[in-house]
Amino acid sequence: MASFDEDALAVAGDQPDAGMIAAAERVAAVIEGGGVAPSDAFADGDVTIIENFPPYVFDGAGAVERWSEQMRAHLTGVTALRHTFGRAQDFRGARDEVYFSLPTTWRGLKHGRPFVEDGGWSFVLARQGGLWRVRGYGWAVTGFSWTHLSAAGKGAPEIVTDRLRIDDLVPGDAPALFDYRSDPEVARFQSWSFASVEETRAFIVRNASSPFGENGAWYQLAVRSAATGELVGDLGVHFLPQDDQQVEIGFTIAPAHQRQGFGKAAVIALIDYLFTVLGKHRVIASVDPRNEASMALLRKVGMRQEAHFRQSLLWQGEWVDDVVFALLRPECENRPAGRRGGLAVDG
């Protein structure tokens, strides 16, 4: 393998490109049973794999085949397996070989019981025939927990559009979530924030243990780039108490990802899910009128302003206004197709 001489680097930027991430995604697809053959994910020639099940190290002739067989045995009883990558770390490399690590969270069912496994993948990729392939990886588990299903037997949704994936926040998201939630410009209009990464991680664990869809509860969802898996923001869903037909939503996009259409795409996808999948009747959003960007976004997605309450909330020692926007399911159903569903959003 390459020695990664710092004076001979030939890769640009501090993050793997899309082709490199795609190589990691192919290995994940093999594990998830996504129709990708091991031969399409791993490099030709010598491959080394370090795993958390016997014999732990797979190398030499037939390493991939032995790993594949043992992986199938390791996953006995596991269904609905899916992964989430965090932001890549330690990226470096030479012209035809690169190294990086990926914080990774696995979610699934083990004999019908939901679980979350956090860990880290370290990859070495080789470029072969113009395509990045995995020459070696090491996997280490950093945490495992059993999670909770709602009374209806359903956890939080996974909503996928051409640009975004909306799903559960996981403990590996804590550094990124804390980073943008503690930005003064973001926190200015938020009703809650975190004092530390550890406090953020504890919130994520509590959030994941709460049933999605329970009346009276807020549930926070991750908004991720479909291309990279990077956390770009979060959505809040408030299932109103004593009213299972109305839902309040909130949204936050990290400053580094604002003005790229992520907020609009995420809100439309969530509204579409609430109406078409959960069958809700009315979606509302409450916003400080000084938050002009959020007011504009709500109008762009077709929500109408229903009320403006003067100095109705005491916020950080100051009485502030509250503007309420709303959208009814019949109104959404009557909108042009290009503005109804998250899958049709481009903007």
- What pLDDT does 345 receive? 28
pTM: predicted TM-score of the whole model, two decimal places? 0.57
Helix/strand/coil percentages in the chain, nearest 5: 30, 35, 35
The CATH number, out of the four listed (3.40.50.2300, 3.20.20.140, 3.40.630.30, 3.40.50.10800), of the domain defined by the range 159-344: 3.40.630.30
Rounded CA-CA distance 234/277 in Å is 20
Higher-scoring residue by pLDDT: 335, 303: 303
Higher-scoring residue by pLDDT: 229, 138: 138
Whole-number Cα distances in Å, 222 to 45, 84, 120, 148, 249: 39, 11, 19, 17, 13
* CATH code given to domain 6-146: 3.10.450.50
Q: How confident is the model at residue 77 (pLDDT cuts 50, 70, 90)?
A: confident
Helix (H) or strand (E) holding 18: helix 18-32
Residues 6+ positions from 261 with CB-CB distance below 8 Å: 163, 345, 346, 347
Give the other-Cβ count within 10 Å of 195's Cβ: 9
**Mean pLDDT to the nearest integer, 157-182:** 89
**Mean pLDDT to the nearest integer, 18-35:** 92
- What pLDDT does 7 receive? 34
| pLDDT digit string, tens, across residues 173-196 | 999 999 999 998 888 888 777 889
DSSP 257: G
CA 330 to chain centre: 30
Rounded CA-CA distance 125/134 in Å is 4
Q: Does the N-terminal peptide bond of residue 330 adopt cis geometry, omega within 30 degrees of 0?
A: no
Burial of 338 by CB count in 10 Å (0-12 exposed, 13-18 middle, 19+ buried)? exposed
| Phi, psi (rounded to 5 degrees) for 247 | -135, 140
Q: Where are the domains of the chain?
A: 6-146, 159-344
